[in-house]
């Protein structure tokens, strides 16, 4: 799905009284999801074990 089509689909799901801020937030979330999907498709992933090691360090 192209960007324009994704935005139009998003706008259809929002209520008629959605504010500009609401629309911006939903576009931001959509962009982050797409970026994550593209990273995953490119193999740019972190294993579960790596995440758990990093989390343990952060919680020290």
Q: For 2-53, how does the pLDDT look when each residue is reduced to its tens digit (9 = 90+)?
A: 889 989 999 999 999 999 999 999 999 999 999 999 999 999 999 999 999 9
Predicted local distance difference test score (pLDDT) of residue 41: 94
More reliable by pLDDT, 9 or 1 = 9
Q: Which domain holds residue 24?
A: 3-58
Chain-centroid distance, C-alpha 7: 14
pLDDT at position 2 is 86
Please give the distance of CA 28 from its chain centroid, rounded to a whole number.
7
b/e code 42-58 from CB counts within 10 Å (16+ = b)? eeeeeeeeeeeeeeeee
Domain count for the chain: 1
pTM for this model (two decimals): 0.70
**Residue 9 belongs to what H/E stretch?**
helix 3-13
pLDDT score, position 3: 87
């Amino acid at each position: 799905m192209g960007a324009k089509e994704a935005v139009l689909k998003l706008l259809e799901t929002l209520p008629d009284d959605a504010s500009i801020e609401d629309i911006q937030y939903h576009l931001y979330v959509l962009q982050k999801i797409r970026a994550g999907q593209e990273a995953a498709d490119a193999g740019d992933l972190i294993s579960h074990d790596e995440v758990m090691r990093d989390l343990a360090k952060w919680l020290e």
